[in-house]
């Protein structure tokens, strides 16, 4: 099955600096890559996603890039703010053999701390 590796597991940055989180995946058939943000004690919430027919996507201070050849994708956060502090999860969507449905496989998460 699909395997998603996420690095780093923890990341500390100064307010205003940029943060980059990287993920690699194993199944070349994966075609959808969402990123979730989870604040302490809260549910994961989708912040941005990218599909396999696109190389880069931006939404204000966040961007995601996808390199299908190398099978990796990255989350970029610019001008970080204290409210960006959270755990971020990447995921890859692949066809699951069980019932012909697509499933998400998640990375283990990155705890981002933005220091004021």
Q: Least CB distance from residue 14 to another protein, whole Å?
A: 26
Residue numbers 95-114 binding another protein by CB under 8 A: 96, 98-99, 101-109
Characterize 26-64 residue by residue with b for buried, 16 or more Cβ atoms within 10 angstroms of its Cβ, and e for exposed.
ebeebeebbbbbeeeeeebeebbbbebeeeeeeeeebbb
| 29 is a contact residue toward another protein (CB under 8 A) | no
- In the complex with another protein, the residue whose CB is nearer, 41 or 116, is 41
- In the complex with another protein, the residue whose CB is nearer, 16 or 36, is 36
Binding footprint of another protein, residue count (CB under 8 A): 30
5 CB-near residues (< 8 Å, 6+ apart):
23, 24, 25, 107
CB of 66 within 8 A of CB of 93?
Answer: no
Using CB under 8 A, list all residues that contact another protein. Answer: 1, 6, 31-32, 34, 36, 42-46, 49, 51-53, 89, 91, 93, 96, 98-99, 101-109
């Amino acid at each position: 099955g699909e395997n998603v590796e996420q690095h780093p597991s923890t990341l500390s940055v100064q307010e205003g600096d940029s943060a980059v989180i990287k993920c690699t995946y194993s199944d070349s058939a994966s075609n959808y890559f969402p990123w979730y943000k989870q604040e302490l004690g809260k549910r994961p919430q989708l912040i941005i996603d990218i599909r396999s027919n696109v190389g880069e996507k931006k939404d204000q201070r966040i961007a995601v890039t996808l390199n299908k050849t190398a099978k990796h994708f990255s989350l970029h956060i610019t001008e970080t703010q204290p409210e960006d502090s959270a755990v971020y999860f990447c995921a890859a969507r692949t066809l699951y053999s069980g019932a012909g449905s697509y499933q998400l496989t998640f990375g283990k998460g990155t705890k981002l701390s933005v220091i004021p």
